[in-house]
């Protein structure tokens, strides 16, 4: 399992609940199409966080890099429904940072270490 993490700040005129509803629709659609495994949305609580912490954390689980690649290709497809869901979410985003995480130690690393 790999974790694609998006740290998000909304535009000043965007509403947090509207963003959550749009993310729900978009992520549920991606999940129903099998291009992501699971997802979660978190909001910073009581403004607590590092000075560079963004307000929302969106975590998207994918089985492997191939599934993540399928998700990106699916998002870029010429499908009107995909475009509408994607645009609804992204028109509310003011700033975003992304990162990709993997379990550690991963199975491949654990197998190599067992051989030493």
CATH of the domain at 57: 3.30.70.100
DSSP codes of every residue in 49-84: S-TT--SEEEEEEESSHHHHHHHHHHHTSS-HHHHH
Q: How confident is the model at residue 53 (pLDDT cuts 50, 70, 90)?
A: confident
Q: What is the CA radius of gyration of the chain?
A: 16
Query: Looking at 27-31, 74-78, 103-107, which range is the least confident one?
Result: 103-107
Domain containing 89: what range? 2-115
Whole-model pTM?
A: 0.86
How many distinct structural domains can be found in the chain?
A: 1
Q: Check pLDDT > 70 for residue 93.
A: yes
Q: What is the mean pLDDT of residues 29-36?
A: 96
């Amino acid at each position: 399992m790999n974790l694609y993490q998006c740290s998000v700040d909304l535009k000043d005129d965007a509403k947090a609940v509207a963003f959550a509803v749009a993310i729900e629709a978009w992520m549920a659609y991606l999940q129903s199409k099998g291009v992501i495994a699971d997802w979660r949305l978190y909001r910073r609580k009581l403004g607590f966080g590092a000075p560079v912490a963004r307000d929302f954390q969106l975590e998207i689980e994918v089985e492997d890099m191939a599934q993540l690649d399928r998700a990106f290709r699916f998002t870029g497809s010429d499908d009107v429904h995909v475009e509408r869901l994607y645009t609804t979410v992204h028109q509310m985003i003011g700033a975003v940072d992304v990162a990709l995480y993997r379990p550690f130690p991963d199975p491949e690393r654990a197998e190599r270490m067992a051989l030493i």
